[in-house]
Structure 1
């Protein structure tokens, strides 16, 4: 049975201020991503309300991306408490998500340019989180030998 904190024996994370600082900054970036995602959702609703065409893809994605922000934030929070598993997952997702989002938006005809730009802007904080999570301090705090 696992504990709530998922701490790994020997993990110095709770006392490692540099790792905690990086994880805190990553959590803040993920919060910003959630806020931008909510604004993008409101933009889609406003555009649809004004009578302009909004396809199902845009609507579904506009709803799902803020939900993804909640998941990422929960993982980053668990990682800051010492969960190596959560750290590995949030580290991977912060790389995969921007590539997938921007890559799909580049397919011609999927979405209008304004929507693609909105999604790309939403991914900037996620890219920042990915860079922070790959820094020396978090990697050392979650080193495999620990």
Structure 2
């Protein structure tokens, strides 16, 4: 059985935080689609692309709806979903930027686009650690 949030969920602080989180995830998905489209255009015009660019380019836009669903469940009071989105929003930007900084793994333009999409998720890490969220989602 899922642990649900307290009655403090649904106040202006939590509503605004979840609204902002949804916008951040929409931005994450949009930048992911732009990145994938750019890879496709580069490949179709004869420029070099790598399997890494294609795979990661597909994963990011595909991940956006999943993260939006987790956020919706959290906004509904599901503590496990809240904990997941809080953890993902903290770890993912660091992991993406860390991998992108490996020399030679991808071109600079690709690293910039992927970094921007990952940075779009970073505000969620801060939003999920506010006092309003701590009150709404006490540790079970």
> Which runs of no fewer than 5 residues in structure 1 stay unpaired?
none
| 95, 105, 112: which one aligns with 1:117 | 112
Aligned length, in residue pairs? 140
Paired residues of 1:24 and 1:80 also in contact (CA < 8 A) = no
Paired residues of 2:32 and 2:61 also in contact (CA < 8 A) = yes
| 81, 85, 91: which one aligns with 2:80 | 85
1:75 matched to 2:70: yes
| 89, 107, 131: which one aligns with 2:102 | 107
Instruction: Map Cα deviations across residues 67-126 of structure 1 (whole Å, 9 max, x no partner).
Output: 121111111110000000000000000111111111011111111111101111112210
Q: CA RMSD in A?
A: 1.5
> Which runs of no fewer than 5 residues in structure 2 stay unpaired?
none
The Cα of 1:7 is off from its aligned counterpart by 5.7
Q: TM-score, normalised by structure 2?
A: 0.93
2:45 equivalent in structure 1: 50
Q: Distance in 1 between matches of 2:91 and 2:9?
A: 27
Q: Distance in 1 between matches of 2:7 and 2:22?
A: 19
Structure 1 residue ranges (4+ consecutive) displaced by more than 6 angstroms after TM superposition:
none
Paired residues of 2:26 and 2:64 also in contact (CA < 8 A) = yes
